[in-house]
């Protein structure tokens, strides 16, 4: 039983956060426990530093992944979903996805079950982090990836099963589309409903955070009724609901003080973010494009070890590491915990505890500038001192001002 007074509430589209909120955590598999220990130390220390004893997080552990499977026989127990539904905000380490065994990705399941329809990935540079590009400081954008639809909806049939044959026969009989006998089939649903709610979230974010460009990234030149429709619905929604804030690229209007709304074809966007990253501030894109683009963008600013992420719905949010479980480093106290720590920064911003977010960011900046970093950054930085995962967490705490 939880104390009602410490539960986060969601009323009239507003999050109401008590001083001692419950937050659900899933430590994750593989390197997850090492990363979680370092991250929790940073979070608790930052809250204490800023608010002394006035505010404090009450952590509530939920099980998922291998730990859950060992203890309950389920990869994602219903209890975990219930906890997040009840307490609204969670943060998680990476979880194992067994490949090709018919078990749906736990991450995808969490997003779908809780209708966390936007995957938000800020991509920004920390001074001193090794980067493959000449001006990584120009990279500063946020990706809003649709999180519930597209080829990730899980509507697919394995080749040579009765189901795949039935769908194949239907397509031939009803539409004259002949597929090979050995075909596996996946469905790519993209709806106006999901596109519009993602667009609203991205535009509200752009307005609130004074970001002056919102770009729809799609492959609508080829997939007209899914990706093309995504772009059309998104732009229409921006025009209909945010007219006073926006100007379209093709409009011959002053862009002064407005948010420029434009679109780019997905493949071209991969070179855009490398060659002219400073032209992009908020990117809105369907699920699959967003998955690829997020990791490619993370590579520009230090790789997945430095990339945070959040899955957000209406009144529910799960913040997460963007990398996987890196099983070869499990329990070696070695890997970089920054992805979870920076996801925590997003979480504190979501809670409205911006002072905590800021103090952590500044401490990370200082720790990296001092060249005291984990192996992944140390191996690319001249003169760096390699720290263990736990030592890196402690260094961040020591650098909090």
Residues identified as active-site: 152, 219, 267, 291
C-beta of 146: minimal distance to ligand NAP in Å? 17
- Angstrom distance (rounded) from CA 331 to CA 32: 9
Stretch that binds ligand NAP, among 69-77, 88-96, 200-208, 255-263 (CB under 6 A): 88-96
Residue from the set 114, 217, 283, 335 that interacts with ligand NAP by CB under 6 A: 335
Neighbours of 137 (CB within 10 A): 15
C-beta of 132: minimal distance to ligand NAP in Å? 14
User: Please, which residue, 124 or 231, has the CB nearer to ligand NAP?
Assistant: 124
User: Please, which residue, 171 or 381, has the CB nearer to ligand NAP?
Assistant: 381
User: Please, which residue, 39 or 199, has the CB nearer to ligand NAP?
Assistant: 39
Supply the angle between the helices 266-275 and 287-300 in degrees, to the nearest 10.
20
Residue from the set 185, 304, 312, 342 that interacts with ligand NAP by CB under 6 A: 304
Stretch that binds ligand NAP, among 117-125, 201-209, 218-226, 334-342 (CB under 6 A): 334-342
C-beta of 32: minimal distance to ligand NAP in Å? 8
Stretch that binds ligand NAP, among 69-77, 200-208, 291-299, 317-325 (CB under 6 A): 317-325
User: Please, which residue, 246 or 346, has the CB nearer to ligand NAP?
Assistant: 346
By the rule CB under 6 A, 288 interacts with ligand NAP: no
Tell me whether residue 265 is exposed, middle or buried, using C-beta atoms within 10 angstroms of its C-beta: 0 to 12, 13 to 18, 19 or more: middle
Which two three-digit tokens encode residue 127?
Answer: 């001074």
For residue 383, which of 394, 392, 393, 372 has the smallest C-alpha distance? 372
By rule CB under 6 A, what count of residues binds ligand NAP?
19
Kindly provide the b/e burial profile for residues 354-368, where b requires at least 16 CB atoms within 10 angstroms of the residue's own CB: eebbebbbebbbbbb
CA angle 348, 295, 341 (to 5 degrees): 25
For residue 234, which of 186, 181, 197 has the smallest C-alpha distance? 197
- Angstrom distance (rounded) from CA 200 to CA 313: 12
Q: Do 4 and 309 contact (CB within 8 A), yes or no?
A: no
By the rule CB under 6 A, 300 interacts with ligand NAP: no
By the rule CB under 6 A, 346 interacts with ligand NAP: no
Which two three-digit tokens encode residue 130?
Answer: 């090794």
Residue 46 CB contacts under 8 Å (≥ 6 apart), including other chains: 348, 356, 359, 360, 363, 397, 400
By the rule CB under 6 A, 290 interacts with ligand NAP: no
By the rule CB under 6 A, 195 interacts with ligand NAP: no
Residue from the set 24, 95, 235, 363 that interacts with ligand NAP by CB under 6 A: 95
Supply the angle between the helices 32-51 and 389-398 in degrees, to the nearest 10.
10
Residue from the set 287, 311, 336, 372 that interacts with ligand NAP by CB under 6 A: 336
**DSSP codes of every residue in 119-168:** EEEEEEPPTT---SSS-GGG-EEEEEEE-S-GGGG--EE-TTSHHHHHHH
Residue of minimal CB distance from ligand NAP? 324
Binding residues for ligand NAP restricted to 20-39, rule: CB under 6 A: 31
DSSP element (H, E) containing 92: strand 89-92
C-beta of 269: minimal distance to ligand NAP in Å? 22
By the rule CB under 6 A, 96 interacts with ligand NAP: yes
Residue from the set 124, 219, 323, 366 that interacts with ligand NAP by CB under 6 A: 323
User: Please, which residue, 157 or 375, has the CB nearer to ligand NAP?
Assistant: 375
Residue 249 CB contacts under 8 Å (≥ 6 apart), including other chains: 260, 261, 262, 263
Which residues contact ligand NAP (rule: CB under 6 A)? Answer: 31, 94-97, 107, 304-305, 320-321, 323-327, 335-336, 339, 376
């Amino acid at each position: 039983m939880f104390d009602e007074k410490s539960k986060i509430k969601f009323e009239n589209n507003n999050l109401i956060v008590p001083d001692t909120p419950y937050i659900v955590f899933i430590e994750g598999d593989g390197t997850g426990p090492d990363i979680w220990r370092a991250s929790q130390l940073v979070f608790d220390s930052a809250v204490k530093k800023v608010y002394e004893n006035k505010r404090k997080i009450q952590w509530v552990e939920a099980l998922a992944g291998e730990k859950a499977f060992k203890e309950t026989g389920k990869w994602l127990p219903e209890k975990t979903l219930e906890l997040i539904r009840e307490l609204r905000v969670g943060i998680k380490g990476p979880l194992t996805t067994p490949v090709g065994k018919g078990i749906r990705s736990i991450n995808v399941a969490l997003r779908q079950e809780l209708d966390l329809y936007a995957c938000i990935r800020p991509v920004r540079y920390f001074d001193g982090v090794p980067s493959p590009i000449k001006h990584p400081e120009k990279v500063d954008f946020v990706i809003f990836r649709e999180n519930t639809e597209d080829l990730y909806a899980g509507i697919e049939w394995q080749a040579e099963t009765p189901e795949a044959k039935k769908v194949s026969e239907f397509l031939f009989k009803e539409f004259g589309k002949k597929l090979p006998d050995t075909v596996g089939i996946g469905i790519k649903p993209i709806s106006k409903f999901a596109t519009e709610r993602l667009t609203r979230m991205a535009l509200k974010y752009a307005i609130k955070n004074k970001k002056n460009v919102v770009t729809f990234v799609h492959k609508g030149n080829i997939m007209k009724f899914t990706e093309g429709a995504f772009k059309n619905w998104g732009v229409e929604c921006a025009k209909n609901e945010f007219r006073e804030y926006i100007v379209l690229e093709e409009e011959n209007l002053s862009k002064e003080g407005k948010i420029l709304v434009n679109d780019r074809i997905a493949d071209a966007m991969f070179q855009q973010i490398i060659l002219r990253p400073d032209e992009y501030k908020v990117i809105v894109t369907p699920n699959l494009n967003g998955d690829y683009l997020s990791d490619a963008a993370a590579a520009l600013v230090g790789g997945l070890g430095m990339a945070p992420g959040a899955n957000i719905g209406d009144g529910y949010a799960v913040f997460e590491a963007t990398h996987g479980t890196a099983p070869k480093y499990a329990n070696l106290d070695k890997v970089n915990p920054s992805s979870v720590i920076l996801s925590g920064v997003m979480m504190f911003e979501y809670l409205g505890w911006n002072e905590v977010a800021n103090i952590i960011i500044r401490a990370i900046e200082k720790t990296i500038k001092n060249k005291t970093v984990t192996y992944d950054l140390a191996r690319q930085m001249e003169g760096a001192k390699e720290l263990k995962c736990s030592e890196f967490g402690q260094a961040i705490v020591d650098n909090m001002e």
